[in-house]
Amino acid sequence: MRTLLPFLIISALPAAAQDCSFDTECFEAEACQPTSFALSVDLAGEKLVTDFGDLQIVAAKTTPPLTTLFATGDGAEYLLSRSGDTARFTAHANEGPAVISYLGTCKGEF
């Protein structure tokens, strides 16, 4: 796995806008439910912008066609994976542990 430190992310991925929207939420082994959740990728600022706060991007990995961003925030670690327009976003809570997965799409380019 090729991991990049935060100060290398910008040089590894061109700075471009990317907006993601998720319409399915899955909590642990429970049945998935409809949802409405969105985030924006701010590579220049090294963060994922969400309604619940900004998450710091700590690493990126690109193995075409898949791009994965790793982020951290208060009480959890996050993973955003994108291949084409298809996206997955997971929150790995430190308490529990517990995982919430979101299924959706991203538009724009890295």
Does residue 97 contact residue 7 with C-beta atoms inside 8 Å? no
Give the pLDDT means over successive 10-residue stretches in the chain (110 positions): 37 65 96 96 92 94 93 94 95 91 89
Residues 6 or more apart in contact with residue 13 via CB below 8 angstroms: 43, 60, 62, 67, 110
Residue type, 98: A
Q: Classify domain 17-108 by CATH number.
A: 2.40.128
pLDDT score recorded for residue 94: 85
pLDDT score recorded for residue 27: 96
Q: What is the pLDDT of residues 35-61, one digit of tens each?
A: 999 999 998 899 999 988 999 999 999
Alpha-helix runs per DSSP H in the chain: 6-12
pLDDT score recorded for residue 16: 59
Mean pLDDT of the chain: 86
Domain boundaries, the chain: 17-108
Q: Which DSSP symbol is given to 32? A: P
